[in-house]
């Protein structure tokens, strides 16, 4: 059986009714609903599902129909960059499926979505048609508000060269699995959190495959990270580097959490590092299940 | 499908031909051969297999036939306490099977083995008929050499009340899964290693569910541990306590290794502790398998 993951991002993190409608489209479908997170600061809903490729595509189209119907981007405000009601839809290979098959799937999804709603759709990451178009920030530059001008320079891969009035445009594509982790710091000073995030972030001199950003969170601060190659940059290195950078400000790591799926081998690497184990054969790990 | 583990201990850790014969009995059977370890210091062969209950029992009987045929306990010397050629045979429930079913299975194994070879067999741990007989050290007191006298006081559960001339006696029973871990220390001073082992060992004031012993190993020293309740005494606590006790002697932990199976939730606890993660839902862990 082929298995893929999708982590659609919708531009609504405040209105519980809208969130519930979109969530229901997934829980009513033949996919496994892994989790969802949303908050009004980013004003964004992020859902994680896994399932067989065609079932995932079907569920995504259904939920996208709902989102495009109920979300009006002209009224949307949030801290996270975004250009559409259905902002980003990644397709991630998990089991018995190649990246190439996920690229094809993302293109079929893009075609159907754009035709159904007369919506501009961009292909990013592994599905992109050029190196610069792989970068989501390049495609999303100017966000929803700047889309009308931006789209003249950076043409969509599917659909019209004018934004959808209320739904903007959508970005989709295949990518490798990503490990999401938030680390909560024992300080309410977001300036310190930002300095630490900068020290971790790849482009500002941190860890090669890690993006990091800081935000206020429940009276504390939080470093939100995504790791696009946990095999080369293991998860423990992220945490230990944060601890090291935080120490100069006398700040402690209070807690952490994973977002979405966690590959087993990412956890094995964590155990190997901290327990100083050289070899830890995945075949010897047993998931017990007693009556 | 029901799944159990067995970790039979045979009294031969030196003669490669004998070891290979016993190993072959398992690799030729319908069970999964997980691993085997042996050394001439303990002069003992420890094999880990998993499989369906009846297949495991069948493979164990076959290998026991071989061991009883080729091992002569009158010539056996080794650092590990032992009383028979087939010294200990535990049955461990893993999936869709109760401890009670494993107790029954161990009794059926004991009956067949004792009848086939006219061999005294003792039931231990969860299969034992009294509290004191649960303890393997109680049953094995006096070892092979003292068996003739000892067996008059502590009668076997199956078979004759006299030892088998060359194979001694066997101990079998059901027990819960155990996590085996060896920790290598950066000292060749076995006196220090013994002090650390004592500090970890339950009976001498250490961790409640942990047995620990020290030995010399490749110019270093090693603490060998078994943990009979990793849910209550998590694995990270063993390692951190060793580090703490070793620090007073200026000794470092060099490396560690697991022996046999490792339950996934034991590893999850390790990750949660070191990464400071509160919740780590097993459903979100994905074992990826890409073409």
Q: List the CATH number of the domain containing B69.
A: 3.30.990.10
Structure tokens at B250: 């200026």
Give me the mean pLDDT over the B220-227 stretch: 95
Q: Is A276 at the interface with chain B, CB within 8 A?
A: yes
Question: Does residue B287 carry a pLDDT above 80?
Answer: yes
> Among B150, B174, B198, which residue terminates a domain?
B174
Residues B131 and B232 in one domain: no
Residue A291 lies in a domain: no
Question: Does residue B41 carry a pLDDT above 90?
Answer: no
Residues B256 and B122 in one domain: no
Residues B49 and B191 in one domain: no
Cα(A176)–Cα(A157) distance, integer angstroms: 21
Residues A152 and A169 in one domain: yes
Q: Do A276 and B256 touch (CB under 8 A)?
A: yes
Q: In angstroms, what separates the C-alpha of A173 from chain B's closest C-alpha?
A: 18
Q: In angstroms, what separates the C-alpha of B281 from chain A's closest C-alpha?
A: 9
Averaged confidence pLDDT in chain A: 96
Task: Evaluate whether B173 touches B100 at the Cβ level (below 8 Å).
Answer: no
Q: Is A277 at the interface with chain B, CB within 8 A?
A: yes
> Among B133, B157, B174, which residue terminates a domain?
B174
Tell me the pLDDT tens digit for each residue of B184-212: 999 999 999 999 999 999 999 999 999 99
Q: Is A45 exposed, middle or buried (0-12, 13-18, 19+ CB in 10 A)?
A: buried
Question: Does residue B45 carry a pLDDT above 80?
Answer: yes
Residues A168 and A215 in one domain: no
pLDDT band at B21 (very low <50, low <70, confident <90, very high): very high
Question: Which residues of chain A does B98 touch, with a Cβ-Cβ cutoff of 8 Å?
Answer: 290-291
Tell me the pLDDT tens digit for each residue of B234-270: 999 999 999 999 999 999 999 999 989 999 999 999 9
Residues B165 and B191 in one domain: no
Residues A10 and A149 in one domain: yes
Q: Do B256 and A277 touch (CB under 8 A)?
A: yes
Tell me the pLDDT tens digit for each residue of A232-272: 999 999 999 999 999 999 999 999 999 999 999 999 999 99
pLDDT of amino acid A266: 97
Residue B283 lies in a domain: no
pLDDT band at B218 (very low <50, low <70, confident <90, very high): confident
Give me the mean pLDDT over the A44-72 stretch: 97
B188: number of Cβ within 10 Å: 13
pLDDT of amino acid A41: 87
Q: Is B282 exposed, middle or buried (0-12, 13-18, 19+ CB in 10 A)?
A: exposed
DSSP character at residue B82: -
Residue B62 lies in a domain: yes
In CATH, what number is assigned to the domain containing residue A186?
Answer: 3.30.70.670
Query: What is the H or E stretch that residue A284 is in?
Result: none
pLDDT of amino acid A219: 83
Residues A244 and A259 in one domain: yes
Nearest CA in chain A to B259: A284
Cα(A127)–Cα(A91) distance, integer angstroms: 10
Residues B107 and B229 in one domain: no
Residue A97 lies in a domain: yes
Which residues of A are known catalytic residues?
80
pLDDT band at A217 (very low <50, low <70, confident <90, very high): confident
Query: Number of folded domains in chain A?
Result: 2
Give me the mean pLDDT over the A118-136 stretch: 97
Residue A290 lies in a domain: no
**Quick one: which of A259, A266, A199 has its CA closest to A230?**
A266
Residues A137 and A271 in one domain: no
Residues A146 and A201 in one domain: no
Residue B216 lies in a domain: yes
pLDDT of amino acid A291: 84
pLDDT of amino acid B172: 98
pLDDT band at A63 (very low <50, low <70, confident <90, very high): very high
pLDDT band at A211 (very low <50, low <70, confident <90, very high): very high
Question: Does residue B176 carry a pLDDT above 90?
Answer: yes
Tell me the pLDDT tens digit for each residue of B106-165: 999 999 999 999 999 999 999 999 999 999 999 999 999 999 999 999 999 999 999 999
Per the structure, the complete domain to which residue B35 belongs is given by 3-174
Residue B96 lies in a domain: yes
Averaged confidence pLDDT in chain B: 96
> Among A126, A157, A174, which residue terminates a domain?
A174
pLDDT of amino acid B115: 98
Residues B56 and B159 in one domain: yes
Residue A284 lies in a domain: no
């Amino acid at each position: 059986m082929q298995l893929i993951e999708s982590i659609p991002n919708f531009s609504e993190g405040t209105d519980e009714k809208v969130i519930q409608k979109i969530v229901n489209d997934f829980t009513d479908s033949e996919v496994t609903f892994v989790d969802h997170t949303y908050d009004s600061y980013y004003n964004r809903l992020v859902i994680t599902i896994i399932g067989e490729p065609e079932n995932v595509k079907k569920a995504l189209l259904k939920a996208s129909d709902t989102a495009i119907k109920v979300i009006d981007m002209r009224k949307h405000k949030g801290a996270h960059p975004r250009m559409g009601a259905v902002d980003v839809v990644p397709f991630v290979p998990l089991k018995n499926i190649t990246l190439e098959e996920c690229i094809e799937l993302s293109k079929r999804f893009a075609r159907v979505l754009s035709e159904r709603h007369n919506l501009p759709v961009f292909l990013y990451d592994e599905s992109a048609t050029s190196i610069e178009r792989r970068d989501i920030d390049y495609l999303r530059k100017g966000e929803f508000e700047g889309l009308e001008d931006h789209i003249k320079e950076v043409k969509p891969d599917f659909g019209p060269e004018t934004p959808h009035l209320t739904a903007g445009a959508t970005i989709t594509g295949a990518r490798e699995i990503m490990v999401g982790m938030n680390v909560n710091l024992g300080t309410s000073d977001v300036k310190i959190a930002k300095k630490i995030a900068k020290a971790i972030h790849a482009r500002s001199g941190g860890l090669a495959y890690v993006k990091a950003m800081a935000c206020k969170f429940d009276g504390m601060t939080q470093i939100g990270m995504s790791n696009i190659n946990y095999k080369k940059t293991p998860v423990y290195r992220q945490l230990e580097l944060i601890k090291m950078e935080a120490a100069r400000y006398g700040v402690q790591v209070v807690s952490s959490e994973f977002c979405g799926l966690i590959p087993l081998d990412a956890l094995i690497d964590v155990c190997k590092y901290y327990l100083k184990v050289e070899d830890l054969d995945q075949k010897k790990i047993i998931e017990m299940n007693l009556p």
